[in-house]
Amino acid sequence: MTILNLLPSVLIGAVASARSMTPMAAIAGVRLAHRETPGRLFLLDHPLFKAGALFMGVGELVGDKMKSAPDRTVFLGLLARVMSAGIAGAALAPRGHERLGAGLAVGTAVPLAYATLNGRKAGMRRIGQTRSGLIEDALIVTAGLATVALAVRGRRGE
pLDDT digits (tens, 9 = 90+) for 72-115: 999 999 999 999 999 999 999 999 999 999 999 999 999 999 99
Where along the chain do its domains lie? 3-152
> Which residues are CB-neighbours of 135 under 8 A, at least 6 positions away?
123, 127
pTM for the full predicted model: 0.91
Top mean-pLDDT range of 1-10, 41-50, 62-71, 121-130: 121-130
What's residue 128's pLDDT? 93
First to last CA, the chain: 24
Bridge partner residues of 156 (DSSP): 35
pLDDT digits (tens, 9 = 90+) for 11-37: 999 999 999 999 999 999 988 888 889
Distance CA 36, CA 7 (A): 17
Q: How far is CA 147 from the centre of its chain?
A: 9
Eight-class DSSP state of 3: G
Q: Among 75, 86, 69, which residue's Cα sits nearest to residue 23?
A: 86
> Which residues are CB-neighbours of 146 under 8 A, at least 6 positions away?
none
What's residue 154's pLDDT? 60
**pLDDT greater than 80 at residue 64:** no
What's residue 158's pLDDT? 44
